[in-house]
Structure 1
Amino acid sequence: MSELPIIQKTYDLIKWYVPILNRLPHSHKFMLGDRMITGLYDLLDTLIIAKYSSDKLTLREHQNYI
């Protein structure tokens, strides 16, 4: 199965963006930075689940908990 372009582009975004977020001032790094990093990893996780899921209803239920 070939990789979906959106998964690769999301991964590339994370690789590019995390070092930038790590350079934020201490007062913003742990509040804003962690929230953004968590959101990006949640997005990547959901995309990977969507690719391999045969039951799209389960995927939709998973998204409600994120």
Structure 2
Amino acid sequence: MVDKRSASTNKGKVKFTGKKDRTRGQDHGRGHADYPVIKAMYRLALEYTERVKSFPRDTRFILGDRILNNCYDILEGLIEARYTKEKERVLRRLNLQLEKLRFQTRFCLDVKVLSAKKYGHICEMINDVGKMIGGWLKSLR
């Protein structure tokens, strides 16, 4: 690790305290560093946000909006599952929503708004999230 030194200012002068910067690799208050499933779903939502921008207008405002809303609902549900006592109920609901997202993604391929390559990439991301949700559910039993 590079020895970064933190600085404090005193009347415009920089004073090095000699302490190493320990913030590297932390999530800086985002609150999901220890939940890889939330990070994975966040990346999937970002990916779909970029993909939907290139959908044809008629598809973007019907199918695209439904997909994005589904992604955001799953992401919000994962955050909810982190804090609720009813984790199993929430995670089962999210599993169902993820299955809907799989079908919506397949539909995007069939109507040719996603290439086979992008479809494969997104499916891998969806499957990764599904495996993590399944593992989380299994750990609760």
Shorter-chain TM-score tier: 0.7 to 0.9
Per the alignment, residue 22 of structure 2 pairs with none
What is the match of residue 31 of structure 1?
A: 62
Higher strand share: 2
Correspondence 1:1-66 to 2 at 5 A? 2-53=33-84, 55-56=85-86, 60=89, 63=93
* Larger helix fraction of residues: 1
Q: What is the TM-score of this pair, normalised by structure 1?
A: 0.78
Structure 1 vs Structure 2: percent identity of aligned residues?
31
Shift of 1:22: 1.3
SS of residue paired to 1:24: coil
TM-score, structure 2 normalization: 0.39
Larger Cα-atom Rg? 2
User: Per-residue CA shift, 1:25-62, capped at 9, x if unaligned?
Assistant: 00100000000000000000110000011x217x837x
Q: Using CA pairs below 8 Å that are at least 6 residues apart, which structure has the higher relative contact order?
A: 1
SS in 2 for 1:18: helix
SS in 1 for 2:45: helix
Given residue 23 of structure 1, which amino acid in structure 2 is its aligned partner? S
Aligned length in residues: 61
Q: Counterpart of 2:78 in 1: which secondary structure?
A: helix
Where has structure 1 moved over 4 Å in runs of 4 or more?
none
C-alpha RMSD of matched pairs (Å): 2.2
Unpaired runs of 5+ residues, structure 2, are: 1-30, 98-141
